[in-house]
Amino acid sequence: MNANVLFVRPLGVPENWEKGELWLSVAKMSGVKLSVDHDGIEASRFGSSTSGHVMLYDTKGQLLFSGGITPLRGHSGENAGRSAMVALLIQGQAAKDQTPVFGCPLTGKAKDSEELYDASHEN
């Protein structure tokens, strides 16, 4: 399995804005390729507009699953999307091929980007 993870960097935010805690966590995963998606161009090509959107393709490029794998925004745990992904990876089939995505918008105006920058650096 190849895993490609895109981190969207909105227009107007500083260089390396996306390289926070989640980036560092994903970077530790074996076999995962990380990429920066400037202003969500790649996400848009795939029809994704919300953070946390996961897509699974087979070796022929056919979309097998599209959706969220979290039960709520910012939460982890069992849910229909995660169960579908696991079933597809282990058994090759699942009860669902789409689930709702709970996350933040991937693109927006410069003002929104500034707010995203401020919020992502609070602690």
For residue 46, what is the DSSP state? T
Place of tokens 């918008």: 105
Q: Which tens digits make up the pLDDT trace of 49-91?
A: 998 899 999 989 999 999 988 765 665 667 888 889 889 999 9
- What is the phi-psi region of residue 16: left when phi exceeds 0, alpha when psi lies from -120 to 50, beta otherwise? left
Q: Please give the model's pTM, rounded to 2 decimal places.
A: 0.75
* Ranges of each domain in the chain: 52-103
